[in-house]
Every structure is written in C-alpha cells, then in structure tokens.
Structure 1
Amino acid sequence: MKTSLEKYREYGRRIEDLIRPATFPLAVKIVRPEDEIAPEYKRPFRDLGVQNFVCQNFKMARTYGWTIAVTGADINCKLARALYGWDTLTDQEREWAEDFSVGLYSKDRETAGKFGRHLYALDEPFAGLIISPLTRTKIVPDTVLVYCLPAQAMRFVQGYLFMEGGVLEFAAAGRVGSCHEGVTKVLKTGRPQYVTLGNGDRVWGGAHDHEVMFACPAEKLDVLMEGLETTHAAGLRYPIPQYMNYAPGFQASFEKAAVQRAGGTIEKK
C-alpha cells in the first residue's frame, strides 16, 4: 500500500508525463507549529541572507528543486504578510495600500477600495508554509500549484470538469496571483483555481510572459487526476495533436508569382 507521500509523488510524475510543464509542480503545506519545519529545508533569511517574496520561493522550488520553508521572518511583501496573517494592517496602512493603487491599478480611491473585498486571508494562527517539488515532496500538501501554458491549464480544467461537471469559476485581478489565488483562496474555498499571474509574479517571482498557474486543493487532487487520466485515454492530449492530414496550398496570387519566379520549372497539373 502506498504511503501518502508516495501517492502525491506519483501524482507529480503523472502530471509531468501527461501535462509536461517546464518546471516542477509544487506541493504547498501550511504548518502550524514551527517544529514541523525540518532543519534541512531551505530558509530564505537563514540560508540566503534575505527577506523575500513568497512568489520568489515558488520560483526557486519549481526550478532548483529545493524544499523551502518560509515564515514571517522570511517575507517582506506587505500584502502577502497580511494575507498570511503575519501582520494585522492598521487603518493607516490600509489607506496607504488604497492610495498606492490609485493611478496604477485603480482610477480613484473608491475603485481601489473594491479590491479588498475579494481577498481571501488566512484567519487561523500558523507558523509558515513549506514548498516542495511534488515528484519528490517532503510533505503532504494542502494545495498543489502547477505553472504552465494556457493549453496545459486547459487540460487540467477538462480533467476536473470531466468528473465534476459544469464550469470552473475563477476570478482575475492581474495582481496578487500565486500567493493569494494559488494558496489562500484555494484553502479558503476548497476549489481549484485557474490563476492569471500578476506583475508581482512576473517582476519578482520570475514567471514568464507565457505562464499561467493551475492550483488544486489536495482533497480534490484524486478527482482531478482521475479526470485527467480518463480524458487523456479518450484522446484529449498535451501536446495538442493538431490536424495535419490535408493537402496544403497557396493563395492564388502567391501561387501565380511562384510559378513566374520558377521560370516554368514548377509542374502544373
């Protein structure tokens, strides 16, 4: 019988086989007592000598293959600190955040204030989070993150809806993507998310222009994988098997010019 870790590692291998993402799928776990953080896990402040952003640690884990643990001592992103409960924003800080958005993300103060209504913050005390490549995960995840192409995310959506039906509903703000929609929103709603990565993910988190994210709560991963395997067997594949069985041709004007350039060497049927 497989252990829980072996099961999730096998899911990671199957995702890599069926979806072929360019970087490692990630297992992410919220830990409450800090003694769940093993000494060998990388720590940004201790091992790199910096406080950084949560999205930077996702990038390192998915490209370097590190297992990384982050706590409030490691993170200096003010919004992430508020979302994860490491800081309680004062009224003055909330006003500053809204003022910061005006002229950048929002046309005025009233518009800026609407954004906060759609944020999902963790409201239970916890020590931090552990991020580990899924194929070699050191932890049983709470959520699984896959940075991928839109066509690869499409396959996840198809697999999930094969089992659950309906449509996948998600929101996009062009900001606060991976740390919020990939983790805290997934944990609070219990539903998968198709994540449009924002400027933070791309400027500091190293996400490329072509990347999006699919995030799935761990309790839904069995459903997702069954749907992914079944739809793959039925013929929905990645890479997309584009239709190639046709005789190619040219626009009439292009063909006429080609014949003239060829000086009669092109055989006309």
Structure 2
Amino acid sequence: MAVSGEDLSCPIAKAAFGFEERNEYYTSGKLGEGMYASCGEAGAKFEEALAKYDFGEYAYVVAAPLGRANFTPDTVLVYGNSAQVLRLLNACLYKKGGSLKSDFSGRGDCTDIVIKGKKTGEPQVILPCYGDRIFGMTADDEMAFTFPFEMGGEIVEGLEKTHAGGVRYPIPIYLRYQAEYPKSYQELEALWQKHRGKQGDEK
C-alpha cells in the first residue's frame, strides 16, 4: 500500500511527512491549542517535538504486512500489549545492554513509527496516540514497537536467548508465597488449631 499526501486526511501527518508546507498557522500551535495545549505557545512546542521530513522529501509512504511485502522495508512495526513490547525491548538490548531512549508527546505517533526510527536507526517504544486509537482502532491495552528491518535477525536471536534465560511470555505469575490475612482471620485459624490439638490429646 502506497500512501501519498492526497490519501491522508490528518493535517498533522500531512505537515510532518512533508506532503504539505508547514505554514505559519501550523507553526503557531493552533492545531493543539484548546485541545492538547493550554495556549498557542504550548501547541507550537507539540509541533516542534514531532519528527519530520522536509517538504517534498518523499512522495509516498509504503506499507505492507511483513510476510507479504515485495520490497525491503526500512522499519518493522509490531503492536502488542505492554508485556509483549517488553519482550521486544529485552530482545533488542540483549547484546548491547543499557537502555532504549524513547519520548512521548501523546500525539502524532505516526511520526514516531515512520520518521523517528528511520532518522535515528534505533528501535522505538511507541505509545499510540488518540488518532491511532480512534481511526486505527488501536485497543486500550495495546502499545507498539518499531525496529529497523536489518535488526530483524538480532531481534529474533534476542528473543530466543532471553527466553532460554527464563525471560518469557506469557509471563509466569509467582505463587510461591504464604498468604497473609487480617488479624481476626488469624485468630480464628489459631482457635481451630488449638481445638484440633486438644482433640489429639484426648485420643
């Protein structure tokens, strides 16, 4: 699927992807003012924070299911719950350790998914924005994770190695603990044990 500016309905995406010029109305912060931002100045900072392509830098964004793509993609996008995203994070850090830097503005996640990863060459943890949830039908329990296509082998190896090391999904729940109850419950239990002790003595 190839998407051009004519195919997009979201003004934020059109401006950020360079399909339309980022004019004074856009840069003034009016898109977010009164909705995401308390004022135009705050709204402008939201727009500044988005990763962007230059105007006319690209004509299309091309996307496809990974197993059916007949081209080599720049970025792989995976949606999942927070535990599944955690496993992908574990995998991408398996060899080098440390941490992964991601930032969030709560809007324009398409720029995080497509532009930021391509420009930085680094995986990204994605918090789906409001539009992604309304129009993309991303569920409340979903997050996303992106990584450069050429990291695919490293991600697979990281998943396998961390799984072998005991870091797995579904994540097991620890149940080897002694439950603690309110004092009144404990007193009742003590009375039962005392009663059973007396019965044993009588026998």
TM-score, normalised relative to structure 2: 0.83
Matches within 5 A, 1:225-240: 225-240=156-171
Amino acid at match of 2:182: Q
Higher Cα Rg, which structure: 2
Alpha-carbon shift at residue 155 of structure 1 (Å): 1.0
User: For residue 31 of structure 2, what is the aligned residue in structure 1?
Assistant: 100
Contact (CA 8 Å) 2:106, 2:129: kept in 1 or not? yes
| 1:199–1:268 distance in 2 versus 1, CA, 3 Å | farther
Contact (CA 8 Å) 1:122, 1:188: kept in 2 or not? no
User: For residue 119 of structure 2, what is the aligned residue in structure 1?
Assistant: 188
Contact (CA 8 Å) 1:145, 1:214: kept in 2 or not? yes
Relative contact order, higher structure (CA 8 A, sep 6+): 1
User: For residue 85 of structure 1, what is the aligned residue in structure 2?
Assistant: 18
> 3-state DSSP class of the match of 2:144?
strand
User: For residue 78 of structure 2, what is the aligned residue in structure 1?
Assistant: 146
Unaligned runs of 5+ in 1: 1-67
My pick for the range that moved more, 118-127 or 147-156, is 118-127
Q: Deviations over 1:146-203 (max 9, x none)?
A: 11111111111111111122110000111111x1111111111111111111111112
| 1:250–1:103 distance in 2 versus 1, CA, 3 Å | same
TM-score, normalised relative to structure 1: 0.64
| 1:126–1:99 distance in 2 versus 1, CA, 3 Å | closer
Alignment equivalent of 2:97, drawn from 140, 165, 168: 165
Matches within 5 A, 1:27-42: none
Alpha-carbon shift at residue 76 of structure 1 (Å): 1.5
Question: Following the alignment from structure 2 to structure 1, what is the Cα–Cα distance between the partners of residues 121 and 107?
Answer: 21
User: For residue 199 of structure 1, what is the aligned residue in structure 2?
Assistant: 130
Question: Following the alignment from structure 1 to structure 2, what is the Cα–Cα distance between the partners of residues 247 and 92?
Answer: 62
User: For residue 126 of structure 1, what is the aligned residue in structure 2?
Assistant: 58
Contact (CA 8 Å) 2:91, 2:159: kept in 1 or not? yes
Contact (CA 8 Å) 1:163, 1:224: kept in 2 or not? no
Q: Which runs of 4+ in 1 moved over 6 A?
A: 255-259
| 1:254–1:191 distance in 2 versus 1, CA, 3 Å | same
Question: Following the alignment from structure 1 to structure 2, what is the Cα–Cα distance between the partners of residues 99 and 254?
Answer: 60
Superposition RMSD in Å: 2.5
Alignment equivalent of 1:209, drawn from 140, 147, 157: 140
Question: Following the alignment from structure 2 to structure 1, what is the Cα–Cα distance between the partners of residues 84 and 184?
Answer: 38
Unaligned runs of 5+ in 2: 198-203
Identity %: 35
Matches within 5 A, 1:214-225: 214-225=145-156
Q: Deviations over 1:58-98 (max 9, x none)?
A: xxxxxxxxxx3322221111111112221112223433xx1
Contact (CA 8 Å) 1:159, 1:225: kept in 2 or not? yes
User: For residue 55 of structure 1, what is the aligned residue in structure 2?
Assistant: none
> 3-state DSSP class of the match of 1:144?
strand
Amino acid at match of 1:139: F
